[in-house]
Structure 1
Amino acid sequence: MRNSGYLALLNCHALIKNHAGFICFILLMSVFRSAVADWNDVPTGSMQPTIVEGDRVYIDKLAYDVNLPFAQVSLVKVAEPQAGEIAVFNSAVSNKRLIKRVIAVPGDTVAMLNNRLLINGQPLNYQLISQTEQEWIWQEASQANTHLIKTRKGGSSLDSFHSVVVPAGQYLMMGDNRDSSADSRVIGFVPRHEFIGRAESIVLSFDYDDYYLPRKDRWFKKLM
């Protein structure tokens, strides 16, 4: 039994020695994806039309914090999430990793009526871009950001809420597909420590409805 254990140890040592470069590469890639940058698959349409199902989104994990690898523990705060940014966070309430847009930051006062936002007493500007029988596509513009959103004709239970003040250390997050997004209107404000990073661009995209064929027009598309 001792000889068997010794031989197993020798074999393990030989394996590590012969493949040290590959093992080191795997470890470095794991650290990189854990603490520096990663990509996130998007399985739902809650961020349409900005992000669609099948997009692979590049996440800058150093945008807000320098984290301890393999643990969401902030070592150094780099910056705070800003209104208009698209961020990825681990939601304790939904027990999921979510990707949503930062709508309001601590201290902001926010209200929404019929899918039109009012932030700190200032209404955002809306311009109709296109429509179908079921939905509208709007351009939503504020001082911080201009982007597209989707709303459903006839509205939904999510299209309005009374004025609220975002508490310290919390953020109001919403999907761009306003009537089909389980965001802060469902899960509440998002704590600062749940943020993983900022979504910067679409790296790759595959059409789930067309045999997973690549959507090359969406590759390396910067997110707004």
Structure 2
Amino acid sequence: MFRSAVADWYEVPTGSMKPTIEEGDRILTDKMAYDLRIPFTHVSLLRLAEPQTGDIIVFDSKVADNRLIKRVIGTPGDIVSLQNNELTINGEKVSYSTLNESIRWLDKTEHLKGHAHTIRLTKSAASLVQFPATPIAADHYLVMGDNRDNSADSRVIGLIPRDELLGRAERVIVSLDYDDYYLPRSDRFLKRLE
């Protein structure tokens, strides 16, 4: 009952949230961050809070037919656009600063409504680098993966209805390196997600 209504863990199978979240991370999800729910259901008894821009959420996507983890970019009432992999929210361009660069990717800090986090962009041509100004409807959220060019997010599955939310991702509990015989990545244990 605890896992169905209070807190749960989610195993991350893909790199869509790199560099914030790695494949093999087990994420602690606060299931009471937004709603008080009837255990074993998605039925909300009481709304406790609303997801904020920059929150990392876990949700059951009906469109993707899968449980996903993404970052909230747009909340109800916002107008969001993406041009050349740079966001504009309500007419204000989001600021970026370069962190790291490799042959294949570029890591940047994205400053999103007072919340800074790292995103990853590939240097090869990407097909999802833009979308027109999109108004966010009531009880819906625009979400994106931090690994912007390798994420099936709202650019693919559309806006996320609030009733699909499971909770807010809080921290990495444990992490196993899929590329190194599932050895533990102890430097990621109990890492707070930002």
TM-score normalised to the size of structure 2? Answer: 0.98
Percent identity, aligned pairs only, is: 54
Q: Which amino acid in the other structure matches residue 36 of structure 1?
A: V
Consecutive aligned runs of 4 or more in structure 1 exceeding 4 Å deviation: none
Tell which structure's C-alpha radius of gyration is larger: 1
What residue is the counterpart of 2:188 in the other structure?
A: 218
Does residue 100 (structure 1) correspond to residue 70 (structure 2)? The answer is yes
Within the candidate set 167, 185, 191, 1:197 is matched to: 167
Does residue 131 (structure 1) correspond to residue 101 (structure 2)? The answer is yes
Structure number with the bigger relative contact order (C-alpha 8 A, sep ≥ 6) is 2
Residue 131 of structure 1 and its aligned partner are, at CA, apart by 0.9
Q: Is the 8 A contact 1:83 1:144 kept in 2?
A: no
Q: Which amino acid in the other structure matches residue 217 of structure 1?
A: D
The separation in 2 between residues aligned to 1:79 and 1:178, in whole angstroms, is: 27
What residue is the counterpart of 2:140 in the other structure?
A: 170
What residue is the counterpart of 2:50 in the other structure?
A: 80
Unaligned 5+ runs, structure 2:
none
Q: Is the 8 A contact 1:40 1:56 kept in 2?
A: yes
Residue 168 of structure 1 and its aligned partner are, at CA, apart by 1.0
The separation in 2 between residues aligned to 1:40 and 1:218, in whole angstroms, is: 15
The separation in 1 between residues aligned to 2:36 and 2:181, in whole angstroms, is: 39
The separation in 2 between residues aligned to 1:113 and 1:134, in whole angstroms, is: 21
Q: Is the 8 A contact 2:28 2:170 kept in 1?
A: yes
The equivalences for 1:10-159 within 5 A come to 31-159=1-129
Residue 134 of structure 1 and its aligned partner are, at CA, apart by 1.3
Q: Which amino acid in the other structure matches residue 175 of structure 1?
A: G
Residue 130 of structure 1 and its aligned partner are, at CA, apart by 0.7
The separation in 1 between residues aligned to 2:43 and 2:68, in whole angstroms, is: 18
The separation in 2 between residues aligned to 1:144 and 1:62, in whole angstroms, is: 24
- The DSSP-based 3-state class of the residue aligned with 1:140 is strand
What residue is the counterpart of 2:179 in the other structure?
A: 209
- The DSSP-based 3-state class of the residue aligned with 2:22 is coil
Residue 114 of structure 1 and its aligned partner are, at CA, apart by 1.1
Over residues 53-94 of structure 1, what are the superposed CA-to-partner deviations in whole Å (9 max), with x where a residue is unaligned? 010000000000011111111111100111000000000001
Q: Which has the higher helix share?
A: 1
Q: Which has the higher strand share?
A: 2
Does residue 181 (structure 1) correspond to residue 135 (structure 2)? The answer is no
Residue 132 of structure 1 and its aligned partner are, at CA, apart by 1.0
Q: Is the 8 A contact 2:82 2:88 kept in 1?
A: yes
Q: Cα RMSD (Å) of the superposition?
A: 0.7
The separation in 1 between residues aligned to 2:187 and 2:140, in whole angstroms, is: 36
Residue 117 of structure 1 and its aligned partner are, at CA, apart by 0.4
Unaligned 5+ runs, structure 1:
1-30
- The DSSP-based 3-state class of the residue aligned with 1:112 is strand
